[in-house]
Structure 1
Amino acid sequence: MTTVVHEFDWPDRVVIGTVGRPGERTFYLQARAGKRTASIAMEKEQSAVLAEMIDRMLDELVTADDKLSIPAEAPAELLDDAPLDQPVEEEFRTGSMRLGWDPRTAQMVIEAFPVEEEIPGSDDEALDVAAETESEPSEMLVVRIPVGTARAFAERARRVVASGRPTCSDCGMPMDEGHECAPEADA
C-alpha cells in the first residue's frame, strides 16, 4: 500500500486550533505552505502533550548543545492568534505521533499517523494476515519547523487547550451547564 504523505518543510503556518464551542470542540493541527493546507483532527490531550513535549525537547537541546540558538520563550513576532484557515477539511484523525529533531536543518519534526482502523472480522488468522498487509499507514503528516516557530506553536497550543470550559475547583471536571459534584465535607 502506498502511504499518502502530507509533508510541510518550512511551512508558512503551523498551528493548533479548534472548530466548535467549548465542550464540543474538535482540535486540529493545521499546516499551510502557499495554497496547500492540511488539517488533521486531534484530541485535546494530544494537543497539550505535543506542546509539552516540544518545549521539553527544545529545553533539552539547549543544555545539550550550546551552539544552538533556541529561544527560551516564543518570539513575539512568531505568535499566531488567527483562526484556522477555512475551510477546515480533515485529512485524518490522529492516532499516534512522533516528535524528532533534524540536526542537519535545526528543525523540529512532527509526524502524525491516523488512528488505526479496526479490521472487520473476529478470526485471529484473518487479522494476522490483514495486519501484515497493512504494515504502513495509509496517510501521515510530516511537518518540519524551526525552533522559534516550534516555541510559538507550543505556546499557542497551550492557550487553545486552556481556552475551553473552566474546570471545577473541587473535582477538576469541566464546568458544564448542570455541573454537579459533591465536594468532600469538612470533618
Structure 2
Amino acid sequence: MALIDYDPPERFVAGTVGPPGQRQFFLQASGGGRVTSVACEKGQVALLAERIEDLLDEYAPTSSDDDIVDNAPLDMPLDEEFAVGTMRLDWDPASRRLVLHLVALGEEVDETTDLAHLSTPSLRVSLDAGYARSFARRSAKVVAAGRPPCPFCGAPLDPAGHVCPRANGYKR
C-alpha cells in the first residue's frame, strides 16, 4: 500500500477538532503542496510526546529548539487519510533525525517489520531534534488542554456534571 513520506516536513503538528470531551485528535504533516492528516487517540498523542522526549534526551540532549514554536491550528479542510494503529520511533544516527512511522489500524507491526512493504497505508515523518522536541511540547499542551481532571478520582470533569466514584464510596 502507500507509504506517505515527509523527509522533512514543512510542518508536523498534533491538533484537535471539537469541544473538550468530544475532541478528535489528529497528527498532520505538510510539505511540497500536500497535507496529510491521520486520526489518533488522545493517549497515543500523550505517549508519543513522552517517548519523543525520552528518545531525544538519550540521543540528542543538546538541541537548539527555543526558536521553533507552532501554535497555529490544523490546516483545513481536514481529510483523514487513516486512523493510526501502531506508532514506531527510530533514531537515524547518520542524519541525526527522529523518524516517526505511523501505521493504519489493522496491520501487525513490530521492530523487525519492513515498513516500506505494508499492506495498509502508513506515514513516515523525519524530524530534526529541535523540531521533534517542539512537536512533543505542543502535543503535551494539546492533550492537557482538555477537560480538567477530578481532584478525587482523576476522571475528566464533564461540564454537565460528574459522578465521582471516590466521593460516593463505590463505583457504579
Normalising by the smaller structure, the TM-score range is: 0.7 to 0.9
Q: Separation in 2 of the partners of 1:161 and 1:95?
A: 18
- Picking from 24, 31, 34, the partner of 1:33 is 31
* Partner AA of 1:178 in structure 2: G
- Is the CA contact (8 Å cut-off) linking 1:14 and 1:32 kept in structure 2? yes
Q: Is the 8 A contact 1:113 1:137 kept in 2?
A: no
Offset of residue 183 of structure 1: 3.0
In structure 2, relative to structure 1, the CA distance for the partners of 1:90 and 1:171 (3 Å cut) is same
Q: 2:144 — aligned with what?
A: 162
Partner of 1:180: 163
C-alpha separation in 2, matches of 1:4 and 1:53: 26
Report Cα offsets for 1:24-64 as digits up to 9, x if no partner.
Answer: 1110110000311100001000000000000000001146x
Distance 1:104 1:88, change over 3 A: same
| The structure with more radius of gyration | 1
Aligned counterpart in structure 1 of residue 129 of structure 2, from 114, 137, 147: 147
Coordinate RMSD, CA, aligned: 1.8
Percent of residue pairs identical: 44
Task: Give the partner amino acid of 1:179.
Answer: H
Q: Quote the residue 1:17 is aligned against.
A: 15
TM-score with structure 2 length normalisation? Answer: 0.87
Q: After TM superposition, where is structure 1 displaced by more than 2 Å over at least 4 residues in a row?
A: 182-186
Amino acid at match of 1:70: S
Asked if residue 103 in structure 1 is aligned to residue 101 in structure 2, the reply is: no
Q: 1:40, 1:92 within 8 Å by CA — same for their partners in 2? A: yes
Distance 2:165 2:2 in 1: 49
* Normalised TM-score (structure 1): 0.80
Once residues 185 and 50 of structure 1 are traced to their aligned partners in structure 2, the CA distance between those partners, rounded to angstroms, is 35
Pairing 1:55–2:45 present = no
Contact 1:114 1:137 in 2 (8 A): no
- Counting matched residue pairs gives 159
What is the alpha-carbon distance in structure 1 between the residues aligned to residue 4 and residue 24 of structure 2? 20
- Structure 2 stretches lacking a partner, 5+ long: 108-116
